[in-house]
């Protein structure tokens, strides 16, 4: 990986002076076109050897371009808030929107490489992290991002000389720390692990570009040129999406689906409901006040047919909770800001920290439900979404989230009854719109999409709970009971592993 | 993954009788179009629970379609020959060419799932195998293959009933073995591991399709329909390739490359050459007769500028070998059969078994050299080739191949001298063609491509050896010496691990 970056590349002052003005103008033009088109974001990852000029290059790019449209993220120590979220959360919230440039100085590559070099993880674990990175970058690329990965390299001798030179100069002495020299001692190890990682993550959609860092003029001009060419290429040649190898939307040939086997007649009398409600709300309230709750988070997802009673069920939960600890996230059409980001971004931003409770009224599953059925996204978009969602949920659960997904289902007849009722009762009229009637016409398509969703995303760590909701009493108690049971199970597990308290 | 395949799906005899003739006709038409277009191969993977009707379905598909254009591969125990090649070799040689259908009955999924269920590998290892499978299938898909993955499922009770029913019938009793019942005992474990594996390998380009296997009519009709729809979709909607995020072909901005640092004046006198040649040829000969050689294979790759002396160097190696043990693979333009396969197929077929020596006169690196420079393949094709080649070579080395890659380099002046000499000397005239002169005009583009190749594919396990070849004596001895050293190093390593002798 580093052969061509150990040759002692150099650019003369004269050439540099001649080339920079042209490059700056071209970069500014590209940046302008990027903002105008607003079709894709540019994600620049900056990594490499200490002392190879990473920081200088990033500063220079900001100087050369319009810094208002570049966001630089120096990812060093985790903040308190970051530690209470899944590791990738900090990157998700920093992603640039379409039309902008985001520079990640120290990225999702830093931790795996450093931890492997320090012997904290083994090669197998490194390779699993590499696979996760490849998934993540493939998703970014599928969502349209232009990913430019720059690695600044120094040969071993060059690093030594560079650190010494920095130490000699009183103006830069402070920049060389003991950590830099410690890392230098482990140069060979770092080199070998970096090489392996870079090679295994160089894909056609996100190749690593290695730049020799010895000569400041060479590395600056090279970085600028590579950035310019990559942006120009994408600006001038739009990408068309590839169709998926997916089977078309269709029900099983015998028209039997998951819903065909449900007992939709299950009911609970009002009297029994009142007793059970009190019981489970009390239990839930106690659970959230248990000291172990501080080490968990709860994410409850509500999806279901129109008029299936999501709102009512959610109110029965929040009735048992302290308003300071929960948050309801109603998911409607994405905002302008959200549309400028990868699909899952709008959900990542609402992921609760530990000790909190988040309730999603509709969720990321919109991608494989309404967006699929209404063709708001391409077939390959929703086909790859199953895998992306599974990856996403795995990250939540690994971070001690109790993830509970409810699908509230009612019969087609019951839906009609409720629609009509809503139209007749004044205070419920706002709850019924022409959209509801339109969706109802696509009942079968939605049912097929729901079955596919359950088949492809009901996992051991985050199963779907199908709730028979023709009777509201029955549905609400089933939901509350499941919630309590799942939280209790998660707390029991906690006792077994030692997880640091971070609230 | 299996929710919808545990519902007791059924199709009546009447419906079946009505549907099958239509389906057969449509399948035959699709198969005809597939052969006519000859644009892509269809790869069908058949997996699932024992007794779920995998075999019956495959037989039926053969009955319904034209069996002359379907190749069924039942992948059970490894043959002797297969054991002496990397694990994926058996699948590579069985891949169907464009225009044909290949059915893999038991595929690259069987071993990881079974080994995990039997506790032979851990979850981490399973996940690494899953990552490798995802790479492999992405490559097949990028090369144009339509991949259809069918999983036949039975609920636990259904499997028990099915095995009992088969045992009861004297005609099918022989089909139920003790292994089937042993597997049944581990149903839950298999289910959980299969589910994880299927979910992690369901991509937009190769999604798993799960079919309930209880009812023969339902499963046959469903499998046939899915196959038809997937084929029809691809036949009727050609896929256009996506451009890569690659930087355009270009040299370093200071025009310094790997070759700039070589000492091209190194020479060896004829007298010294004769002595060294005898020494190293003797050493090489002894090495190939060492008993440890039977546990290795040697793959020597020769690439280099035109007229750099590959042929002469190869003859100095083969001069030391027993003709029964080596094979020279001259790589020219691909044959018609090879063009109908993924790019690496033509090289996989020549991978030697253990105990053998293969010499590639030009190689798989053509993809990132001539095919890149002459634009015989798309940019994303050669960009992804670096990763594909690294994966490929890793598999060779894991199978105890000593992989040695030589790049023979001569100066531009020396090439001109040799070209002219070839034109003047009668018996060398066949060695110079108009192509050589044309390639020479693209000297700089080729140099850039070579530097990229070395940077991206020179790995710790398979480094590139750059051979300064202006002096033929010097080059030939450097090559022989390196060969001997690399084989000796590999033999030393062998002593440390216990590798079964398989010759």
pLDDT digits (tens, 9 = 90+) for A295-347: 999 999 999 999 999 999 999 999 998 888 889 999 988 888 888 899 999 99
Rounded Cα–Cα distance for residues A389 and A378 (Å): 16
Comparing CA positions, the residue from B314, B405, B313 lying closest to residue B368 is B405
Strand blocks (E) in B253-382: 297-304, 326-330, 357-361
Confidence of residue A82 (pLDDT cuts 50, 70, 90): confident
Nearest CA to CA, how far is B405 from chain A (Å)?
15
Nearest by CB: B1 against A239, A242, A456: A456
Rounded Cα–Cα distance for residues A206 and A202 (Å): 6
Nearest by CB: B199 against A204, A206, A459: A459
- Tokens encoding A164: 């010494």
Q: How many CB pairs under 8 A join A and B?
A: 190
Q: Are B172 and B113 in contact (CB under 8 A)?
A: no
Nearest by CB: B128 against A127, A242, A261: A127
Indicate yes or no: CB of B459 within 8 angstroms of CB of A199: yes
Report the chain B residue with the minimal C-alpha distance to residue A239.
B242
Nearest by CB: B242 against A7, A10, A242: A242
Residue B499 has pLDDT above 70, yes or no: no
Confidence of residue B84 (pLDDT cuts 50, 70, 90): confident
Indicate yes or no: CB of A451 within 8 angstroms of CB of B3: yes
Least confident of A278-292, B239-253, B417-431: B239-253
Rounded Cα–Cα distance for residues B220 and B65 (Å): 13
Confidence of residue A84 (pLDDT cuts 50, 70, 90): confident
Indicate yes or no: CB of B2 within 8 angstroms of CB of A455: yes
pLDDT at B284: 94
- Tokens encoding B424: 């003047």
pLDDT in tens, B194-204: 999 999 999 88
Confidence of residue A243 (pLDDT cuts 50, 70, 90): low
Mutate to test the interface with A, among B134, B145, B232, B254 (most CBs of A within 10 A): B254
Q: Kindly state the DSSP code that residue A258 receives in the 8-state scheme.
A: G
Higher pLDDT, B422 or B28: B28
Return the SS3 of B382: helix
Residue B503 has pLDDT above 50, yes or no: no
Report the chain B residue with the minimal C-alpha distance to residue A1.
B455
Does the ipTM surpass 0.85?
no
Report the chain B residue with the minimal C-alpha distance to residue A262.
B7
Rounded Cα–Cα distance for residues A474 and B282 (Å): 86
Nearest by CB: B455 against A4, A205, A386: A4
pLDDT at A386: 93
Which residues does A345 contact at the CB level (< 8 Å), separation at least 6? A92, A95, A338
Which residues of chain A does B409 touch, with a Cβ-Cβ cutoff of 8 Å?
A: none
Indicate yes or no: CB of B4 within 8 angstroms of CB of A252: yes
* Burial class (CB within 10 angstroms; exposed 0-12, middle 13-18, buried 19+) of B30: buried
Least confident of A238-247, A257-266, B11-20, B225-234: A238-247
Which residues of chain B does A390 touch, with a Cβ-Cβ cutoff of 8 Å?
A: 199-200
pLDDT in tens, A181-217: 888 888 889 999 999 999 999 988 899 999 999 899 9
* Burial class (CB within 10 angstroms; exposed 0-12, middle 13-18, buried 19+) of A170: exposed
Q: Are A449 and A369 in contact (CB under 8 A)?
A: yes
| Domains contained in chain A, CATH given | 3-236 (3.40.50.300), 270-427+462-496 (3.40.50.300)
Report the chain B residue with the minimal C-alpha distance to residue A226.
B247
Residue B502 has pLDDT above 80, yes or no: no
Which residues of chain A does B131 touch, with a Cβ-Cβ cutoff of 8 Å?
A: 127-128, 131, 134
pLDDT at B15: 92
Average pLDDT value over all residues in chain A: 89
H-helix or E-strand containing B468? strand B464-468
Rg of chain A (C-alpha set)? 27
Confidence of residue A180 (pLDDT cuts 50, 70, 90): confident
Report the chain B residue with the minimal C-alpha distance to residue A465.
B3
Nearest by CB: A207 against B124, B218, B245: B245
Which residues of chain A does B209 touch, with a Cβ-Cβ cutoff of 8 Å?
A: 247
pLDDT over 90 percentage in chain A: 55
Nearest CA to CA, how far is A236 from chain B (Å)?
12
Rounded Cα–Cα distance for residues A143 and A92 (Å): 13
Nearest CA to CA, how far is A384 from chain B (Å)?
5
Least confident of A287-291, B80-84, B471-475, B480-484: B80-84
Mutate to test the interface with A, among B13, B146, B204, B397 (most CBs of A within 10 A): B204
Residue B471 has pLDDT above 80, yes or no: yes
Nearest by CB: B9 against A204, A242, A252: A252
Average pLDDT value over all residues in chain B: 89
pLDDT over 70 percentage in chain B: 95
Return the SS3 of B176: coil
Indicate yes or no: CB of B451 within 8 angstroms of CB of A4: yes
The 3-state secondary structure of A186-199, one letter per residue: CHHHHHHHHHHHHH
Alpha helix (H) residue ranges in A212-309: 216-236, 270-289
Confidence of residue A8 (pLDDT cuts 50, 70, 90): confident
Indicate yes or no: CB of B3 within 8 angstroms of CB of A458: yes
Nearest CA to CA, how far is B147 from chain A (Å)?
8
Comparing CA positions, the residue from B482, B452, B453, B456 lying closest to residue B467 is B482
pLDDT at B323: 83
Report the chain B residue with the minimal C-alpha distance to residue A132.
B131
Residue A14 has pLDDT above 70, yes or no: yes
């Amino acid at each position: 990986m580093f052969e061509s970056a150990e040759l002692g590349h150099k650019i003369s002052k004269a050439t540099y002076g001649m080339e920079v003005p042209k490059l700056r103008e071209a970069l500014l033009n590209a940046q302008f076109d990027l903002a105008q088109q607003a079709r894709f974001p540019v994600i620049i990852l900056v990594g490499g050897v200490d002392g190879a000029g990473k920081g200088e290059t990033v500063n220079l790019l900001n100087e050369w371009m319009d810094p208002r449209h570049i966001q630089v993220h120096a990812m060093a120590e985790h903040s308190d808030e970051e530690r209470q979220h899944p590791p990738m959360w900090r990157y998700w919230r920093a992603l640039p929107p379409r039309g902008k440039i985001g520079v990640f100085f120290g990225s999702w590559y830093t931790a795996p490489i450093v931890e492997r070099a320090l012997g904290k993880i083994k090669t197998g674990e490194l390779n699993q992290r590499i696979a996760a990175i490849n998934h993540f970058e493939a998703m970014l690329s599928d969502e349209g991002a232009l990913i430019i990965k720059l690695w600044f390299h120094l040969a071993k001798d060059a690093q030594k000389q560079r650190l010494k030179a920095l130490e000699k100069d009183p103006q830069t002495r402070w920049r060389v720390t003991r950590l830099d020299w410690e890392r230098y001692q482990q140069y060979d190890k770092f080199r070998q692990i970096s090489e392996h990682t870079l090679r295994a993550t160089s894909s056609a959609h996100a190749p690593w570009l290695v730049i020799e860092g010895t000569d400041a003029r060479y590395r600056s001009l090279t970085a600028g040129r590579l950035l310019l060419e990559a942006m120009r290429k994408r600006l001038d040649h739009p990408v068309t999406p590839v169709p998926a190898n997916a089977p078309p939307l269709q029900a099983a040939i015998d028209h039997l689906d998951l819903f065909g086997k449900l007992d939709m007649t299950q009911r609970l009398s009002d009297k029994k409901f009142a007793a059970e409600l009190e019981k489970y709300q009390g239990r839930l309230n106690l659970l959230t006040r248990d000291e172990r709750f501080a080490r968990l988070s709860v994410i409850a997802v509500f999806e279901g047919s129109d008029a299936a009673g999501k709102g009512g069920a959610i109110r029965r939960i929040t009735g048992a909770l302290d308003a300071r600890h929960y948050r309801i996230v109603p998911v409607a059409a994405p905002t302008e800001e959200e549309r400028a980001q990868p699909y899952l971004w709008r959900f990542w931003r609402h992921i609760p920290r530990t000790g909190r409770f988040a309730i999603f009224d509709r969720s990321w599953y919109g991608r494989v439900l309404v967006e699929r059925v209404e063709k708001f996204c391409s077939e390959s978009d929703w086909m790859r979404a199953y895998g992306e969602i599974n990856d996403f949920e795995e990250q939540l659960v690994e971070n001690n989230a109790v993830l509970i997904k409810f699908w509230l289902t009612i019969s087609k007849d019951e839906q009609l009854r409720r629609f009509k009722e809503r139209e007749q009762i004044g205070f419920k009229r706002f709850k019924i719109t022409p959209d509801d009637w339109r969706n109802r016409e696509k009942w079968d398509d939605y049912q097929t999409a729901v079955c596919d969703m359950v088949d492809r995303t009901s996992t051991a760590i985050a199963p779907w709970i199908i709730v028979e909701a023709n009777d509201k009493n029955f549905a609400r108690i089933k939901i509350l009971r499941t919630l309590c049971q799942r939280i209790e199970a998660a707390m029991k597990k906690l006792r077994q592993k030692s997880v640091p308290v971070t609230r």
